[in-house]
A and B are shown apart, each in its own frame.
Chain A
Amino acid sequence: MATEARPEKYITTFQQLMEEGRKNGYRLDWLLPRETFGARLDSTPEAGGLLLQDIDRGPFAEIPDWSDNMTGRPRGSLTRANAARVGNYSVRTKADIWLKNASQLYEEAVQRQWSSAVDVPWETMEELPDDIERAECQLATFLTEVEFVAGDVPGKWISETTPDYYEPRMFLISQIMDEARHMDVFRKRAFANGGGLMSQTTNVALSGGAIDSARDFTEMSARLHISGEGLVLSIFRMGERMSYNEAEKAIYRLAASDESRHVAFGVMHLQYLSQTDPKRKEEIHSYLDEIEMGLVAGTGGQNPAQRGTPSNAALAILLGGGSDPASMMEGEQIALAVRQRQVKEYVQRVKVAGLGERFENGRANATLAAYVSA
């Protein structure tokens, strides 16, 4: 068992206790206080209760730049020499996954849980024109499909990350929960109003396959959180414009609230990485090069507004109010505005992440500027 300095005032007491126990045949060699013992945490309901970001002190708050924890022990716990190396964690470098506010994002996620069963006013749905209902159901089918990406891929990385970095793991777990609810709520929307599921995305590459393939967490996070979820968030924020009842408005509003946390995670992780491991910036820029190609070509995975897809056509119908040519032309114009908004928000996120120089030095895809100024 590892040892460490302990408060003097406790040593005598515990030695006496251990002696007493040993006389009765107990081992009790673990009954030793850590150096923080006796220092009580304050928690008040007014301050939000006992929050994850406020609890770790002393050795428990020491987040190693590189983790040698292969046994899955909680950060700061004492080690056993005979514990098996079951972890096999590939993410053991802090900069590869860390961000400054993962605990806060996790606690916020816990507080903002909602239920698709009872928090969406399903009773407000009334029969819609057939083309509108089909467009709603096509969009819902697409979103159901891509939400699997955002749940399953973070799951893989949780199991690959040392528990010494438990804060980002906790956030990613909350994301899995959020994405399950999104998958569920859009499936419910498809069945709630006399429709059904419609067509699968034509190819896995268009529904986020590249996110699965990433072999580095930051690469995955850039594709998932910055690109994929950022694009979806822009759509959700436009939800009021393509909703035909209060139920749909509630769905988009609630989902956007979750999605904004996921995007924030990606932005804050990139920011941390760019600040602490600048030698990786060029590599990250190369990921952004790829993302921007997808963005301007309208082929970015997870983007319902990507051109030539059923979900894009569904958006045009919903935004224009019908499938007749005049309505669709109008819807296409609004969809273009959606894409402009997606680009503008992407640019802002990259700037906040500390990688905004690409928009000054000519590295960014030139077509982005056309979207921003159009």
Chain B
Amino acid sequence: MVQQQNQQASVRRDLDGNLVPELPDLSWMDKTLGWGIKARVEPFGGGMTVDALNVGVYAEVPDHIPFRNRLPRGAYPAPGAGSIGGYYLQDKHEQWADCAGLLYEEAISRRWSTATDIPWDTACGLPDDVELAICQLATELSQHASVETEVISGWLQNLSPGYHEVKLFLSTATYDSARMFEGYRKRAMINGGGMMLESPGGMNRAIMETYAGWSQTVLGMWFIRNALDTTILRYLAAYGPTEADRTLAARLIPDRMRAAAYATDHIRFAISKKPELPIGFQVWLNGVEFAQARDLRDPVLTESLAIIFGRGVAGMDAGMQIVRRLLQDFVKTYLSRCKQANLDRSKSLTGPFQMLLAGAAAPPRPQA
């Protein structure tokens, strides 16, 4: 049919005066690696999911993508397509997580808005010191999220489109981070407190100056920083001084947990494919742990948390007890992620993190 129609093609001119064939070339109609594929809608209300598309020849996710262009996985490759220049992470172990497609669909399904889904009218009536402590915490969490948006979005151009499930998930992760950024900016602004002191920056640096690869970025950003932020959010969801604070934190936790789930699954997958990777990962994590510990030695974050949990400067000692538990839980969460990823850190935890875990690392108190 196609050949017959091509033979009927004659020549004509368009509005620009260009010669164009009477009928277009239809040879593309036979160019497919697999025809007759029908993806099925999930039977129990999940709709048409991205994982449901992996059927027949399209179910194969290769270990290496030889193209540095935007060939959709499973499409018929054009021999002269060429290279786009980026997309240098072409190996599956550098980015893949089996759960990426599922996490993407979950992120999409959990739509919410800081504008309308937080009871902002309840964020009022706090003592001035508690309100300012919330603003300081909001400044730091906002900055953490802002850095995360920069880091993830910057990596997208390097990750091969052949692993589109990962790119889809990371798009939602960037968006989730943006929501955390604006959610805490709104919280800081609602009573005029505004943005206060920027974060110390050691962890920001450790995450942004990752020279080694996406997996190392994941370790710093989503094994350590995310574990701290998620633990803070969990405590805020319980101890937050207003309903708005508790709701905002509770809303953000699932967003954070999706990132953690991808991170854990990705590192586990990477190690399963490249058993030598933990050697480098362990060394990398040593450095990031020190960076995080150095940031925590700065008292601004812990003091603001102690004021929030102690309901004021007068209650800081009691609040600091809760902060110590929070930091213990942070390290436990981090260790748990490492263990789930087959990257046991229980025997190689750096000294400062061991102290946090023991609860002995009381946030430093400068001489009065």
Q: Interface on A for B, CB 8 Å cutoff?
A: 1, 10, 13-14, 17-18, 20-28, 30-34, 36-41, 43, 45, 48-52, 55-60, 71-80, 82-84, 86, 106-107, 110-111, 113, 115-118, 120, 122-123, 131, 134, 137-138, 141, 144-146, 148-149, 151-156, 158-160, 163, 166, 169-170, 172-174, 176-177, 179-181, 183-184, 187-188, 191-205, 207, 209, 212-213, 296-298, 307-308, 310, 312-313, 316, 323-325, 328-329, 332, 336, 367, 370-371, 374
Asked if B53 is at the interface of the complex by the 8 Å CB criterion, the answer is: yes
B254 adjacent to chain A (CB < 8 Å): no
Restricting to B84-137, which residues have a CB under 8 Å from any CB of A?
A: 84-86, 104-105, 108-109, 111, 113-116, 118, 120-121, 124, 128-129, 131-133, 136
Among candidates A76, A117, A141, A183, residue contacting B164 with C-beta atoms closer than 8 Å = A183
A13 touches B75 (CB 8 A): no
What separation, in Å, do the CA atoms of A358 and B20 have in the docked complex?
Answer: 29
Q: What residues on B are CB-neighbors of A110 within 8 Å?
A: 113-115, 179
Whether B275 sits at the interface, judged by CB under 8 Å, is no
26 inter-chain pairs at a CB distance below 8 angstroms, sorted by A residue, are A27-B299, A27-B303, A31-B313, A34-B192, A60-B189, A71-B204, A74-B142, A76-B194, A77-B196, A84-B202, A107-B113, A111-B116, A115-B105, A123-B41, A145-B70, A145-B71, A151-B156, A159-B150, A166-B146, A166-B181, A188-B39, A195-B35, A196-B56, A196-B74, A197-B74, A200-B72
Chain A residue contacts of B24, Cβ below 8 A: 308, 312-313, 316, 328, 332
Besides the known contacts A17-B128, A25-B368, A191-B37, 20 further A-B residue pairs in the complex with CB atoms under 8 A apart: A34-B192, A34-B194, A37-B128, A52-B182, A72-B150, A76-B194, A110-B114, A113-B108, A113-B111, A118-B45, A154-B153, A174-B178, A177-B174, A187-B164, A196-B74, A197-B76, A297-B16, A308-B25, A316-B24, A336-B15
Which residue of chain B lies nearest to A160 when distances are taken between CB atoms in the complex? B154
Find out whether the CB atom of A74 lies under 8 angstroms from the CB atom of B146.
Answer: yes
Contacts of B115 in A (CB 8 A): 48-52, 107, 110-111
The reply to whether B186 and A204 contact each other, CB–CB distance below 8 Å, is: no
Is there an interface contact between A122 and B48, defined as CB atoms closer than 8 Å? Answer: yes
Instruction: Establish whether residues A159 and B58, one from each chain, have CB atoms under 8 Å apart when the complex forms.
Output: no
Contact present for A40 and B190 (CB under 8 Å)? yes
A-B contact count (CB 8 A): 431
Q: Chain B residues in contact with chain A, CB under 8 A?
A: 1, 5, 8, 14-16, 18, 20, 22-26, 28-29, 31-39, 41-42, 45-50, 53, 55-56, 58, 69-72, 74-78, 80-86, 104-105, 108-109, 111, 113-116, 118, 120-121, 124, 128-129, 131-133, 136, 139, 142-143, 146-147, 149-157, 161, 164, 167-168, 171-172, 174-175, 177-179, 181-182, 185-186, 189-202, 204-205, 208-209, 299-300, 303-304, 306-307, 313-314, 316-317, 365-368
Instruction: Find out whether the CB atom of A79 lies under 8 angstroms from the CB atom of B198.
Output: yes
Is the CB–CB distance between B368 and A23 below 8 Å?
A: yes
Cα distance A201–B5 in the bound complex, in angstroms: 22
How far in angstroms is the closest Cβ of chain A from B142? 5
